[in-house]
Amino acid sequence: MIIKNLTCIECPMGCQIQASIENEKCVDVKGNGCPRGKIYAESEVVCPMRIVTSTVKTDNGKMLPVKTSMPIKKAEIFEVMEKINQIKAKTPVRIGDVLKENIADGVNLIATSNIN
């Protein structure tokens, strides 16, 4: 059995979690202050996921803050960042506008700010 130490990122408490791993599965979780920590640890051990935040260029020279609409696999972040760097948004843009559909596994890239 392997013990993996994790810091839960689901809330500002940052609980220190010990996940017990056997046969590539999480078989026990300790140190979590609430049930969300157990779910986080189980996911982190099997397939870490993250929401990606970044910026893209716009046609008026301003930078537009963006994020993925849902978490993506941590292993795919580099590939997604390369796609984000190729995007040039056409203004005006409103919060929630989809800038790129299906940037990863059915996840869209959306604007998180308004730009005229």
CA distances from 75 to 15, 40, 48 (A): 24, 17, 8
Conformational region of residue 22, where left means phi above 0, alpha means psi within -120 to 50, and beta covers everything else: beta
State the minimum distance, in angstroms, from the CB of residue 67 to ligand SF4: 20
Window 13 to 72, contacts with ligand SF4 (CB under 6 A):
13-15, 32-34, 36-37
Q: Are strands 63-68 and 72-73 parallel, antiparallel or unpaired?
A: unpaired
Q: Classify residue 48 as exposed, middle or buried by CB count within 10 Å of its CB (0-12, 13-18, 19+).
A: middle
> Which CB atom, from 42 or from 76, has the smaller least distance to ligand SF4?
42
> Which CB atom, from 37 or from 111, has the smaller least distance to ligand SF4?
37
Tell me the site size for ligand SF4, rule CB under 6 A.
Answer: 11
State the minimum distance, in angstroms, from the CB of residue 92 to ligand SF4: 37
Structure tokens at 7: 């810091």
State the minimum distance, in angstroms, from the CB of residue 101 to ligand SF4: 31
**Which residues are at the interface with ligand SF4 (CB under 6 A)?**
8, 10-11, 13-15, 32-34, 36-37
